């Protein structure tokens, strides 16, 4: 493909704390046109709020450390820099960029985007996932803005664009609009860019990081960050710089496509991207072509990430070894609750892991109750409990925790502002949206949108909740072998607020047919009994040979408030892959 026909967008950060050398590696490793970085996980907004309360910056200072290495080279090479590292204070971050540039003897045009901060506004605090209403005061409230403010900043001549809360994919879609001039009616190109943005937003997870088949990935220790070669039609080649570690394959791209995914209709402020229309194809070594993505008009609402202070929490972890593990766990609990009543706390979670760790987490509005009163009660049992008693956590005070609470607002009520070198640019035109149906709560809006098929695209998005009875491809007269599911299927899992997402994919049409028939929600609950009490939505993505499950409420009230040892459900996919299934022998290699 002619370089003039592609926009090479490189990622250098997938989260707040990612590899500091990545920006320099991407700028020096080969030609790129745009350098992007994602700092804002849902948890990060809460971390930045805590920093701000302590008098620290409300943006990600690690961005400035990376920028110091590359600002000069980027200006020399004409590389644009687009980042959401502005967090809760994009104006402050932009000012810090100016100050850094001054120390380096440089004069970049720096833009920043505001308008996402809705803190203090009167919001309808109905949870978009559960329909519950929040009666607490928000600590932060930030709408997920779209890509057009970024495009406007680039069109006005910005060298560096700093945003607050935008969708992760907007960091790719914005440059795409700037380069190719896509209007709101160019739904398919916009949708393609959203998919490309979703693939590269998490850095090395697209190039072999956290990959189910990690043994196929060369030199993972020096994994290269991803690049999306975005084309005018919205298709993109996912690749990485030559000579870097890692792997770009249909498998690694599929793994990232199903990460933190809900249904096949991926709602955003610029477009609804149809993930069930994606086509993946090898395009050479470490190159995968992503094409065919269909788009629909965006909904008339924007998601708002609300965080509030939930109270205080404390966890004590005891180790159980030898014989009679479950009986020892009962004795340990009885000893603790004899010293402090279980009902003294707002909530209690007790988990016994397969490796013999007994984790007791308490949460309460009172810091003293959840603090020393609890941890001291556990320590007091040390010589009057089960044999082999020892713990992994010393007694300590409780720590405050926050809760993520997603709500919806009318898109028309949120007006982004773009500033270039401190001067406000003319406002961008609002994106035409699909009218939202009347609904008493937020959730029916999402459900209704997710239920509307595109006329010429078959809708296999939601599968019925099967009882797990034998179906096509699983008949008893077909020779079978009992093997871990992970021998023929990959998986990746993550968090979506209080819900967990679990994506599972395989490599051939025959294997996918078996997987889609066999892995029902009922079977999933049999394989992972911890999920039995949760509502699970199941979605089919046959174009990429994948299934996606959304496990509602598994993470409680979100990552910061989750009592799970794995609060972001990162390991859920690997737990599933280790479970034994009866696989038709002809599908096993």
- 504 and 576 in a single domain? The answer is yes
**279 membership: H or E segment, kind and range:** strand 279-282
Dist CA 56 CA 54 (whole Å): 6
The distance from CA 65 to its chain's CA centroid, rounded to whole angstroms, is: 24
> Where does the pLDDT of residue 432 fall: very low under 50, low under 70, confident under 90, or very high at 90 and above?
confident
Dist CA 273 CA 259 (whole Å): 15
How many angstroms separate the Cα of 211 from the Cα of each of 203, 360, 486, 504? 13, 31, 12, 12
- 266 and 341 in a single domain? The answer is no
Q: Which domain holds residue 221?
A: 3-126+139-304+409-424
Dist CA 440 CA 443 (whole Å): 9
Dist CA 147 CA 178 (whole Å): 10
Residue 575 lies in a domain: yes
In the block, residue with structure tokens 């990232």: 256
Phi then psi dihedrals of residue 345, to 5 deg: -110, 155
Phi then psi dihedrals of residue 428, to 5 deg: -80, 150
Residue 31 lies in a domain: yes
> Where does the pLDDT of residue 431 fall: very low under 50, low under 70, confident under 90, or very high at 90 and above?
confident
Which residue, among 514, 459, 517, 457, has the nearest Cα to 488 in the 3D structure? 514
Dist CA 565 CA 89 (whole Å): 32
Dist CA 261 CA 275 (whole Å): 9
- 353 and 419 in a single domain? The answer is no
Kindly report, residue by residue over 368-427, the tens digit of the pLDDT: 999 999 999 999 999 999 999 999 999 989 999 999 999 999 999 999 999 999 999 998
More confident residue, 566 or 449: 566
User: At 39, is the secondary structure helix, strand, or coil?
Assistant: coil
Beta bridge partners of 549: 502, 538
Dist CA 19 CA 222 (whole Å): 11
Which residue, among 455, 453, 454, 415, has the nearest Cα to 431 in the 3D structure? 415
Which residue, among 120, 129, 56, 66, has the nearest Cα to 87 in the 3D structure? 56
Percentage above 70 pLDDT, the chain: 92
Asked if residue 154 lies in contact with residue 234, where contact means CB atoms within 8 angstroms, the answer is no
In total, the chain counts a number of residues equal to 589
Which residue, among 328, 332, 320, has the nearest Cα to 379 in the 3D structure? 332
Domain count, the chain: 3
Asked if residue 30 lies in contact with residue 39, where contact means CB atoms within 8 angstroms, the answer is no
Beta bridge partners of 360: 316, 350
> Where does the pLDDT of residue 464 fall: very low under 50, low under 70, confident under 90, or very high at 90 and above?
very low
- Nearby residues of 413 by Cβ (< 8 Å), 6 or more positions away: none
Which residue, among 416, 319, 326, 312, has the nearest Cα to 365 in the 3D structure? 312
- 154 and 268 in a single domain? The answer is yes
Beta bridge partners of 147: none
CATH of residue 328: 3.30.70.2750
> Where does the pLDDT of residue 220 fall: very low under 50, low under 70, confident under 90, or very high at 90 and above?
very high
Mean pLDDT over 246-263 rounds to: 97
- 340 and 416 in a single domain? The answer is no
How many angstroms separate the Cα of 46 from the Cα of each of 52, 141, 266? 10, 10, 24
- 390 and 280 in a single domain? The answer is no
Under DSSP, the state recorded for 33 is S
Strands 279-282 and 294-296: unpaired
Under DSSP, the state recorded for 276 is G
Dihedral sign for Cα atoms in the order 184, 188, 193, 197: positive
Residue 183 lies in a domain: yes
> Where does the pLDDT of residue 24 fall: very low under 50, low under 70, confident under 90, or very high at 90 and above?
very high
More confident residue, 469 or 15: 15
In the block, residue with structure tokens 């996606």: 548
In this predicted structure, what is the pLDDT of residue 560?
Answer: 85
Residue 95 lies in a domain: yes
Burial level of 215, CB count in 10 A (0-12/13-18/19+)?
exposed
> Where does the pLDDT of residue 449 fall: very low under 50, low under 70, confident under 90, or very high at 90 and above?
very low
Mean pLDDT over the full length of the chain: 92
pTM listed for this prediction: 0.91
- 254 and 381 in a single domain? The answer is no
- 388 and 268 in a single domain? The answer is no
User: At 53, is the secondary structure helix, strand, or coil?
Assistant: helix
Q: Has residue 291 got a pLDDT over 80?
A: yes
In the block, residue with structure tokens 């590389």: 79
Under DSSP, the state recorded for 153 is H
Kindly report, residue by residue over 140-167, the tens digit of the pLDDT: 999 999 999 999 999 999 999 999 999 9
- 87 and 213 in a single domain? The answer is yes
Residue 474 lies in a domain: no
Q: What is the DSSP string of 31-82?
A: --SEEEE----HHHHHHHHHHHHTTS-SS-HHHHHHHHHHHHHHHHHT-EEE
- 177 and 312 in a single domain? The answer is no
Residue 100: other Cβ atoms inside 10 A: 17
In this predicted structure, what is the pLDDT of residue 73?
Answer: 98
- 262 and 339 in a single domain? The answer is no
Residue 443 lies in a domain: no
Dist CA 298 CA 185 (whole Å): 11
In this predicted structure, what is the pLDDT of residue 325?
Answer: 97
In this predicted structure, what is the pLDDT of residue 476?
Answer: 54
Kindly report, residue by residue over 465-524, the tens digit of the pLDDT: 333 333 334 445 689 999 999 999 999 999 988 999 999 999 999 999 999 999 999 999
- 384 and 417 in a single domain? The answer is no
Phi then psi dihedrals of residue 527, to 5 deg: -75, -35
HEC assignment per residue over 309-348: EEEEEEEEEEECCCCCHHHHHHHHHHHHHHHCCHHHCCEE
Residue 183: other Cβ atoms inside 10 A: 12
Residue 525 lies in a domain: yes
In this predicted structure, what is the pLDDT of residue 437?
Answer: 38
């Amino acid at each position: 493909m002619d370089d003039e026909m592609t926009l090479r967008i490189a990622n250098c950060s997938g989260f707040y704390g990612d590899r500091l050398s990545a920006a320099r590696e991407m700028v020096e490793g080969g030609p790129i046109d745009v350098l992007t970085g994602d700092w804002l996980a849902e948890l990060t907004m809460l971390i930045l709020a805590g920093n701000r309360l302590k008098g620290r910056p409300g943006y990600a200072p690690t961005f400035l450390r990376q920028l110091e290495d590359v600002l000069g080279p980027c200006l020399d090479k004409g590389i644009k820099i687009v980042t959401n590292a502005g967090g809760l204070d994009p104006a402050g971050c932009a000012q810090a960029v100016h100050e850094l540039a001054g120390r380096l003897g440089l004069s970049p045009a720096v833009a920043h985007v505001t308008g996402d901060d809705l803190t203090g506004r009167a919001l309808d605090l109905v949870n978009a996932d559960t329909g519950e209403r929040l009666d607490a005061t928000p600590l932060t409230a930030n709408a997920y803005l779209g890509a057009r403010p970024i495009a406007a900043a680039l069109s006005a001549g910005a060298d560096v664009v700093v945003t607050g809360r935008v969708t992760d994919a907007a960091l790719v879609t914005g440059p795409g609009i700037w380069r190719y001039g896509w209007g709101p009616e160019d739904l398919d190109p916009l949708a393609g860019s959203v998919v490309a943005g979703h693939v590269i937003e998490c850095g090395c997870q697209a190039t072999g990081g956290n990959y189910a088949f990690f043994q196929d990935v060369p030199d993972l220790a020096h994994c290269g960050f991803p690049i999306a070669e975005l084309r005018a039609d919205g298709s993109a080649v996912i690749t990485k710089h030559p000579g870097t570690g890692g792997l770009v394959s249909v498998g690694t791209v599929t793994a990232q496509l199903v990460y933190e995914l809900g249904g096949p209709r991926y709602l955003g402020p610029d477009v609804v991207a149809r993930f069930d229309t994606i086509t993946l194809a090898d395009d050479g070594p470490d190159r995968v072509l992503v094409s065919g993505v269909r788009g629909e008009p965006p909904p008339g609402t924007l998601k708002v990430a609300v965080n509030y202070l939930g109270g205080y929490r404390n966890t004590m972890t005891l180790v159980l070894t030898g014989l009679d593990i479950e009986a020892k766990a009962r004795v340990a609990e009885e000893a603790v609750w004899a010293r402090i009543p279980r009902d003294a706390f707002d909530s209690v979670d007790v988990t016994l892991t397969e490796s013999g760790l007994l984790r007791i987490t308490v949460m309460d509005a009172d810091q003293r109750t959840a603090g020393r009163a609890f941890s001291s009660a556990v320590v007091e049992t040390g010589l009057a409990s089960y044999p082999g008693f020892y713990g992994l956590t010393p007694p300590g005070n409780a720590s405050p925790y926050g809760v993520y609470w997603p709500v919806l607002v009318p898109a028309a009520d949120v007006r982004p502002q773009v500033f270039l070198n401190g001067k406000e640019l003319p406002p961008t035109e609002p994106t035409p949206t699909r009218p939202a149906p009347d609904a008493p709560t937020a959730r029916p809006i999402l459900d209704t949108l997710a239920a509307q098929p595109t006329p010429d695209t078959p809708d296999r998005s939601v599968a019925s909740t099967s009882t797990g009875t034998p179906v096509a491809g699983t008949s008893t007269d077909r020779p079978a072998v009992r093997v871990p599911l992970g021998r023929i299927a990959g998986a990746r899992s993550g968090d979506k607020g209080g819900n967990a997402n679990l994506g599972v994919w395989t490599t051939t049409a025959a294997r996918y047919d078996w997987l889609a028939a066999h892995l029902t929600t009922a079977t999933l609950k049999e394989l992972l009994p911890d999920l039995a009490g949760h509502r699970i939505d199941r979605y089919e993505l046959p174009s990429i040979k994948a299934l996606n499950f959304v496990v509602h409420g598994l993470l409680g009230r979100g990552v910061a408030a989750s009592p799970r040892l794995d609060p972001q459900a990162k390991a859920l996919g690997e737990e599933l892959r280790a479970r034994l299934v009866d696989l038709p022998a002809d599908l096993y290699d």
